[in-house]
Amino acid sequence: MAGETRIHFLNVGHGDCTVIKHPSGRITVIDTSNAEEVDKAVIDRKLGIDVRKQLIYRQYRESGLSERRALAKAGVTLELTNPVEFIKKAYPGQSIFRYIQTHPEMDHMRGLEAIRDRIGITNFWDTKNHRNCSTSESDRADWEAYQQLRTSDKVKHFTRGDRRIYFGADDEAGNGVGDSLEILSPSDALLKDCDSGEDAGDWNNMSFVIRLTHGPITAIFGGDAGTRAWNDILATYPDKLKCSILKASHHGRESGYVPHALDAMKPFISALSIGEDCEHEAYEQYKSYSKHVWSTYERGDITLTLDGTSTIGHSFSRPV
């Protein structure tokens, strides 16, 4: 197989953003988080009992700055990655061929407006859903960008089993190669039930779960899929889920940890996208199934390189 695949799991705190550069040259982005929102527990710990820092932080927050930038004004720097800045530096001049919004939750779409306006999106994958979201002032622009994109001619509504040009390994595209992607979930039935059926409002279990293949290496990106989604996937692929790389569901929290699914996948590498003070992370549990469990909090940006052999190259932006 000519060319290489590069997978970047970005260090965005409690949130998700995966950037994939395919051998075709096209770029896929799965979810985004602008790394500007910070958990309250982290803010309290970083500011401590320093009254001056607390005052500066509050003043800048009231002036409209994001939590991260207000902390910086107070002298507190967080080592997080802004997806727009990362993409513009790593792949200058390129737009995003395929942006996949796994499901309609703000921790998976903060920064969407900036990606749309500063980089550009050719195809926008979205689950058909009827969610109405009451957002904070800081989230409103990204929610509105989501509404604009999902009603534009860029939107693609795919479910399990769909194949399109540029999409799968067997799709003959403009340069003769597809991007080897497959949708494991949701099925049409699961999506409908989580949106408006018996489990209406179960946004996590309607999440896209995507499988990528490059030579002998497979990677599964779990979105926020929970037990119900994984059971549905296992019913369809009972013995064909083994993978080399897993982007852990729900960032690596216990709510996305499904032992029987992990037993079927047996990933060599599990990547967790968690921030500081994540009290519900399942780091130790994943170690029972994976040779390597790497979190963005500890490693920073995680980059995996696939060259068509069984070797997986890796690098981290934070020294270990």
Q: Which of 102, 97, 273 is nearest to 186 (CA)?
A: 102
In terms of C-beta density within 10 A (0-12 exposed, 13-18 middle, 19 or more buried), how is residue 207 classed? buried
- Per-residue pLDDT band at 182 (split at 50, 70, 90): very high
Residue ranges per domain, the chain? 5-33+81-316, 39-77
Sequence length of the chain is 320
Q: Angle 293-294-295 (CA atoms, 0-180°, nearest 5)?
A: 125
Strands 5-9 and 302-306: antiparallel
Please say whether the beta carbons of 229 and 186 come within 8 A.
yes
List, for residues 10-69, the tens digit of each pLDDT value.
999 888 999 999 999 999 999 998 766 666 767 887 888 888 888 998 888 888 877 777
Please say whether the beta carbons of 283 and 295 come within 8 A.
yes
List, for residues 68-103, the tens digit of each pLDDT value.
778 888 888 777 899 999 999 999 999 999 999 999
DSSP state of 25: S
Query: What is the homologous superfamily of the domain 5-33+81-316 according to CATH?
Result: Ribonuclease Z/Hydroxyacylglutathione hydrolase-like (3.60.15.10)
pTM exceeds 0.95:
no
Averaged pLDDT, 120-147: 89
For residue 1, the model assigns a pLDDT of 46
Lowest pLDDT segment from 41-45, 200-204, 312-316: 41-45
Greater pLDDT, 25 or 163: 25
Please say whether the beta carbons of 45 and 39 come within 8 A.
no
